């Protein structure tokens, strides 16, 4: 069965520090991969997505993610975290026509001043 794991439930970083959020998936075929952010009281917003081509994907708000097929991973990175990045981050995967769309359990990011 398809699954998405985000090993870190909660991460705390200092403002200005670098960030990496992990995502691993188990799918029968290479899926489409997404990262979404959910801020308190706000809806889910797409940060970036990968479905083919360059394995390093740039997104909004200075985020990037790298797809590694050999590791079935799609980790999210940011070189310098801002206090406004504090939120819940979800990795998600789906197939060609959007079937079996699955969200990971999420990683909560806290940012220290």
Partner 1 sequence: EAGVAQSPRYKIIEKRQSVAFWCNPISGHATLYWYQQILGQGPKLLIQFQNNGVVDDSQLPKDRFSAERLKGVDSTLKIQPAKLEDSAVYLCASSLTGGSNEQFFGPGTRLTVL
Interface residue list for partner 1 (CB under 8 A): 4, 32, 43-46, 49, 51, 90, 92, 94-106
Q: Which is closer to partner 1, CB of 8 or CB of 15? A: 8
- The phi and psi torsions of 56 (rounded to 5 degrees) equal -100, 120
Q: Which is closer to partner 1, CB of 17 or CB of 44? A: 44
Q: Of 37, 113, 53, 42, which Cα lies nearest the Cα of 82?
A: 113
Q: Which is closer to partner 1, CB of 55 or CB of 80? A: 55
- What the block records as the tokens of 50 is 């990968």
Q: How far is the CB of 74 from partner 1 (least distance, A)?
A: 14
Q: How far is the CB of 92 from partner 1 (least distance, A)?
A: 8
- What the block records as the tokens of 69 is 């097929």
Q: Of 101, 89, 106, which Cα lies nearest the Cα of 48?
A: 89
């Amino acid at each position: 069965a398809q699954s998405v794991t985000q090993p870190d439930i909660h991460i705390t970083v200092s403002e200005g520090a670098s960030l990496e959020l992990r995502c691993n998936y188990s799918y029968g075929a290479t899926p489409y991969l997404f990262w979404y952010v959910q801020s308190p009281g706000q809806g889910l917003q797409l940060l970036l997505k990968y479905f083919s081509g360059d394995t390093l994907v740039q997104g909004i708000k200075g985020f990037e993610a790298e797809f590694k097929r050999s590791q079935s991973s799609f980790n999210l990175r940011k070189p310098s975290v801002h206090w406004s990045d504090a939120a819940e981050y979800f990795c998600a995967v789906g197939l060609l026509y959007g079937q079996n769309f699955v969200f990971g359990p999420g990683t909560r990011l806290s940012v220290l001043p």
